Structure 1
Amino acid sequence: MSVAGLSVSLGRRRILSNIDLTVDNSQLVALLGPNGAGKSTLVRALAGEVNADRGQIQLQNKPLHSWRRPALSRHRAVMPQKVDLQFPLTTREVIALGRPRENVRQRARVIDELLALLDITSLQQRLVPTLSGGEQQRVQLARVMAQIWDQPGPRLLLLDECSSALDPAHQQLIFQRLKQLAMDGAGLLVAVHDLNLAAQYADRLILMNNGQVFAEGDPGTVLTEENLASVYGLDARVELLPEGYPLVIPRQQSGQRPQSAPSPNLL
């Protein structure tokens, strides 16, 4: 996907201004920024859910609006920040929504693979509204992944905070799966608040502030003490780990209680 000069207003307020970005095949791109930076609006614009004031969005060098919906659904899938499902559907039935009009045996195979992949096999007959927030998030991610799973040609995932309700172990699991999907040829744009999780798994970071791209590049280039202070107002130090990615460690402010050592998923 490529985006050039994208600007979006909601009501009378300009939310996004002159956004340029690309998401290539075999690449996991993390979208960062504080609350209100425009991340969710950008994902919605790329999904075609909100109209742009100006700018171009192309998927595989073809304008997004010119794609026929059946073809688009096989190449691009979107997970919004919040999915409020109140219907009494089981986990298995929700995931099946990502594979309509398919051979029953083939659909069952894909569902079984995703259940195991996202550690939700034990939940497959549970009604989704009865699950915890983190469990529901993994079910919805499985549904979205099912949509493009084993499809031929280019595949793109747009994910808005797909791990926000997960415990640290499942955050790691999910991003391991997303990274593998990128290594298998898919392109992924993932809006995330956890800076260290993004640094660990993303090939490229896009840091937004006030509806604009503030910085873009590899984790070591984007996650600097200066950028964190300018965008988040965060006083932190950044250390390069032996694994090759940076770790963001907020400094303790005077008057605060001493805290234990930071976990890898600090923010």
Structure 2
Amino acid sequence: MTASAPSLRVTDLNYSVAGRELLSGLRFHLQSGEMLAVLGRNGAGKSTLLKHLTGELGKNGVELFGQPLRGMRPAEAAKRRAVLPQQTPLSFAYEVLDVVLLGRIPHGQRETAQDRAIAAACLERVGLSGYETRNVLTLSGGEQQRVHFARTLAQLHGVAGERVLLLDEPTASLDLAHQHATLRLARELCQEGVGVLAVLHDLNLAAQYADRVLMLSEGHIIACDHPAAALTCDSIRTAYGHEVLVTEHPCLNCPLIVSAT
């Protein structure tokens, strides 16, 4: 992490629907090279927050690379900010490499041999080398999610300066080994200077991989700090309504959260 201006800043973000407050007074930032995990129970506001960061639900209160998001051209933002939704339905039998190549669209109208080489390299990074000509619809849900992760890598590849990657539950459809492989790759991206914001459900994955944890409860931020400070018994009880025990991980330098009931 650096002491430079944040790549992403949220300033006093509020959002209501039909008189119901879904987000209230949210303020936080994401630095280049940092992984920020967003946690909270179902309905806490995680998805609503992410849709504001992408501009889907409005662009007020969000700054990207020092500029108000509402003032950025979509094509400009697309070169430096990539988004991995929780699900990306496909109804056509695209080859895997063609799906990954969608990430190169912001970089030029005409596909080049270099684009194809970049897409193949990104597939290798997610452990899917050799899948280039496979029909994406024949892959498992977890494999399809890794293809789309490769697409986001291709989108950010070769871009100078600050970059941001937004991940919405990237481990939800993955087995244990691929959950950790995905988050290790996210950490590698941080080392390359990318700011990564990841919505996660697994508290222990957040504790192990995140630099900081932002915890939401009923649309409010109740904690935003490094894992040992944010993931306390009290904050988890408030956020999830469940009693836990937080102790030191026996093998790793991070908290370990276990159910106490």
Q: Distance in 1 between matches of 2:164 and 2:43?
A: 25
SS in 1 for 2:104: coil
SS in 2 for 1:165: coil
Structure 2 vs 1, CA of residues 125 and 196 (structure 1 numbering), >3 Å: closer, same or farther? same
Q: Distance in 2 between matches of 1:211 and 1:82?
A: 23
- Equivalent residues in 2 for 1:167-186, closer than 5 Å: 167-186=175-194
Q: Could you tell me which residue of structure 1 aligns to residue 5 of structure 2?
A: none
| 2:48 is the alignment partner of 1:36 | no
Code of the aligned partner of 1:82: Q
Q: Could you tell me which residue of structure 2 aligns to residue 78 of structure 1?
A: 83
Contact 2:15 2:22 in 1 (8 A): yes
Cα-Cα RMSD: 1.4
Q: Could you tell me which residue of structure 2 aligns to residue 117 of structure 1?
A: 125
Q: Could you tell me which residue of structure 2 aligns to residue 233 of structure 1?
A: 241
TM-score normalized by the length of structure 1: 0.90
Q: Distance in 2 between matches of 1:196 and 1:68?
A: 37
Ranges in structure 2 where 5+ consecutive residues have no aligned partner: 1-7
- Equivalent residues in 2 for 1:96-135, closer than 5 Å: 96-100=101-105, 101=108, 104-135=112-143
Any runs of at least 4 consecutive aligned residues in structure 1 with deviations exceeding 4 A, and if so which?
none
Q: Distance in 1 between matches of 2:111 and 2:93?
A: 24
Q: Distance in 1 between matches of 2:40 and 2:123?
A: 31
| 2:67 is the alignment partner of 1:58 | no
More off after superposition, 22-31 vs 93-102: 93-102
SS in 2 for 1:136: helix
Contact 1:40 1:81 in 2 (8 A): no
**Post-superposition offset of 1:120:** 1.3
Q: Size of the alignment, in residue pairs?
A: 250
Contact 2:97 2:119 in 1 (8 A): yes
SS in 1 for 2:206: helix
SS in 1 for 2:61: strand
Ranges in structure 1 where 5+ consecutive residues have no aligned partner: 254-267
Q: Distance in 1 between matches of 2:78 and 2:52?
A: 16
TM-score normalized by the length of structure 2: 0.92
More off after superposition, 96-105 vs 158-167: 96-105
Q: Distance in 1 between matches of 2:227 and 2:52?
A: 25
Q: Could you tell me which residue of structure 2 aligns to residue 19 of structure 1?
A: 26
